[in-house]
């Protein structure tokens, strides 16, 4: 005689059956998720050496993981790729001012160091997406934009670690240029020194020293002179930092680089013309009545009996003088900051190079000031050196302008 199953046992068996059925149904789905396709979005620019270093690693990643697809977008000349990059930045809430820029799922990173560092980070992001799945943020944005062919960027097939740049490059109008000794620190020192030798950068200091040497209070002489130099350094740094951040924000736009290149060509041509026409090496912007007017203001400020009023006046005039110096610099600060944006640096790196530029820029002023204060005799940069700075600076500006337009990769150091 068989007993009927109690309702409790019946429901218990039903629950066990449903649990087993669910496991059998869900496990294949889990496996399928682990084998789901992963899309990698790679934004690059023509002539960018860091981009060229990352591309072969991405190609090897596609071969190692068949479920991975790399979509690459050029952003210097392709407006659609550029717009997609900006949309990606908004969707991810990240800064997209530097390339290469790579996106996997909802994660991204900018720049490229090596396979062992950046490459390992990228591969970890890919394997996590393969194993656990990840949301494709860029896919919906890129539906109507065609990606570049996989072999669009030319790289040396024998090495994935190094992009070889030749020792010489051919630049239109100038012919072959030896670039083997080029480096960002060297270029910084050369450009800053040429900027500092600008005759407009020295005349105000010489006027100030003339007045200071007539004072009896040595302590006041030192304080007012140092305050003027510090004001010059700070105001120049503020301008260059603001210009740098503006270029970092819009620097991915192809025509911005062309405009800065044209500015360099114009400034270089002007300087070379000044070498032949302005044999006295005088600053035209501050000549004649303007210079006399400034001298009267400076004299009234320095000779004030109230020390604090004199100090405040010196600081105010220091800022005003540097605005004039920026006009006389013929675009050197703007050209230099554009070169910085072409290089993949950290925030501290950018400001460090600006600080180096300012230090070299003020070196001749510091030298003249300290000699005058110690010896109580005025000396300065002669018109001969100022005139030759026009020629050297003009030639260098022409070279940089042509490189910015035709060979920007040469200015991407490291």
336 pLDDT exceeds 50? yes
Most confident listed range (154-163, 281-290, 393-402): 393-402
Answer yes or no: do 281 and 199 share one domain.
yes
Omega of the bond leading into 264 within 30 degrees of 0 (cis): no
Q: Is residue 163 part of a domain?
A: no
Task: Give the residue among 212, 189, 217 at the shortest CA–CA distance from 364.
Answer: 189
Give the number of domains in the chain: 2
Answer yes or no: do 350 and 220 share one domain.
yes
Enumerate the H helices of 7-118 as residue ranges: 7-34, 49-64, 79-92
Answer yes or no: do 245 and 387 share one domain.
yes
Q: Average pLDDT of the chain?
A: 75
Answer yes or no: do 190 and 70 share one domain.
no
Indicate the range of 200-204, 222-226, 392-396, 401-405 predicted with least confidence: 200-204
Answer yes or no: do 105 and 253 share one domain.
no
Q: Is 175 helix (H, G, I), strand (E, B) or coil?
A: strand
Answer yes or no: do 115 and 213 share one domain.
no
pLDDT greater at residue 200 or residue 184: 184
- How many whole angstroms separate alpha carbon 263 and alpha carbon 200? 19
- Look up the pTM and report it: 0.60
- How many whole angstroms separate alpha carbon 355 and alpha carbon 340? 13
175 pLDDT exceeds 90? no
Last residue of a domain, one of 142, 176, 199: 142
- How many whole angstroms separate alpha carbon 394 and alpha carbon 389? 8
CA–chain centroid gap for 78, Å, is 21
Residue range 224-247: mean pLDDT, rounded: 88
Q: Is residue 67 part of a domain?
A: yes
Answer yes or no: do 221 and 115 share one domain.
no
Q: Is residue 151 part of a domain?
A: no
Backbone torsion region of residue 175, taken as left when φ is above 0, otherwise alpha when ψ lies between -120 and 50, otherwise beta: left
Answer yes or no: do 119 and 223 share one domain.
no
Q: The domain that contains 60 carries what CATH number?
A: 3.40.30.10
Q: Is residue 271 part of a domain?
A: yes
Answer yes or no: do 225 and 349 share one domain.
yes
Q: Is residue 275 part of a domain?
A: yes
pLDDT greater at residue 156 or residue 341: 341
Encode 346-376 in three state secondary structure.
CHHHHHHHHHHHHHHHHHHHHHHHHHHHHHC
Answer yes or no: do 200 and 106 share one domain.
no
Answer yes or no: do 293 and 329 share one domain.
yes
Instruction: Report whether 306 contacts 74 (CB < 8 A).
Output: no
Q: Is residue 213 part of a domain?
A: yes
Helices (H) and strands (E) in the chain, counts: 13, 6
pLDDT of residue 193: 84
| Tens digit of each residue's pLDDT (9 = 90 or more) over 379-389 | 655 555 566 77
Answer yes or no: do 107 and 43 share one domain.
yes
- Describe the chain by its helix, strand, coil percentages, rounded to 5: 65, 5, 30
- How many whole angstroms separate alpha carbon 380 and alpha carbon 383? 9
Q: Is residue 15 part of a domain?
A: no
Cβ-defined contacts of 59-67 (< 8 Å, 24+): 59/150, 60/160, 61/122, 61/123, 61/126, 62/150, 65/38, 65/126, 65/127, 65/130, 67/35, 67/36, 67/37, 67/38, 67/130
Q: Which domain holds residue 113?
A: 33-142
Q: Is residue 161 part of a domain?
A: no
pLDDT of residue 45: 83
pLDDT of residue 334: 83
């Amino acid at each position: 005689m068989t007993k009927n199953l109690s309702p409790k046992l019946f429901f218990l068996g039903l629950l066990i059956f449903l649990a087993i059925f669910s496991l059998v149904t869900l496990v294949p789905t889990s496996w399928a998720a682990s084998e789901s396709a992963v899309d990698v979005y790679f934004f690059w620019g023509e002539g960018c050496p860091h981009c060229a270093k990352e591309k072969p690693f991405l190609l090897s990643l596609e071969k190692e993981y068949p479920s991975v697809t790399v979509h690459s977008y050029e952003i210097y000349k392709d407006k659609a790729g550029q717009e997609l990059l900006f949309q990606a930045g908004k969707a991810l809430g990240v800064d997209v001012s530097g390339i290469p820029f790579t996106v996997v799922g909802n994660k991204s990173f900018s720049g490229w160091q090596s396979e062992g560092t950046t490459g390992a980070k990228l591969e970890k992001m890919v394997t996590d997406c393969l194993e656990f799945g990840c949301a494709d943020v860029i896919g919906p944005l890129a539906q109507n934009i065609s990606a570049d062919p996989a072999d669009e960027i030319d790289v040396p097939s024998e090495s994935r670690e190094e992009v070889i740049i030749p020792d010489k490059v051919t630049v239109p109008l100038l012919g072959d240029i030896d670039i083997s000794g080029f480096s960002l620190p060297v270029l910084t020192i050369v450009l800053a020194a040429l900027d500092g030798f600008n005759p407009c950068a020295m005349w105000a200091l010489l006027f100030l020293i003339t007045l200071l040497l007539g004072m009896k209070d040595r302590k006041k002489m030192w304080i007012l002179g140092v305050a003027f130099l510090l004001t010059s350094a700070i105001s120049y740094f503020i301008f260059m930092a603001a210009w740098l951040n503006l270029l970092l924000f819009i620097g991915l736009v192809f025509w911005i680089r062309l405009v800065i290149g044209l500015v360099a060509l114009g400034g270089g041509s002007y300087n070379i013309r000044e070498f032949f026409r302005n044999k006295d090496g005088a600053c035209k912007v501050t000549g004649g009545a303007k210079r006399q007017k400034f001298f009267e203001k400076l004299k009234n400020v320095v000779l004030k009996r109230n020390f604090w009023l004199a100090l405040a006046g010196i600081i105010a005039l220091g800022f005003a003088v540097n605005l004039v110096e920026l006009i006389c610099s013929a675009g050197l600060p703007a050209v230099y900051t554009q070169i910085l944006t072409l290089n993949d640096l950290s925030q501290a790196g950018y400001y460090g190079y600006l600080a180096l530029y300012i230090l070299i820029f003020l070196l001749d002023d510091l030298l003249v000031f300290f000699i005058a204060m110690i010896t109580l005799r005025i000396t300065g940069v002669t018109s001969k050196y100022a005139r030759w700075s026009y020629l050297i600076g003009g030639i260098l500006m022409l070279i940089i302008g042509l490189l910015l337009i035709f060979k920007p990769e040469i200015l991407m150091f490291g």
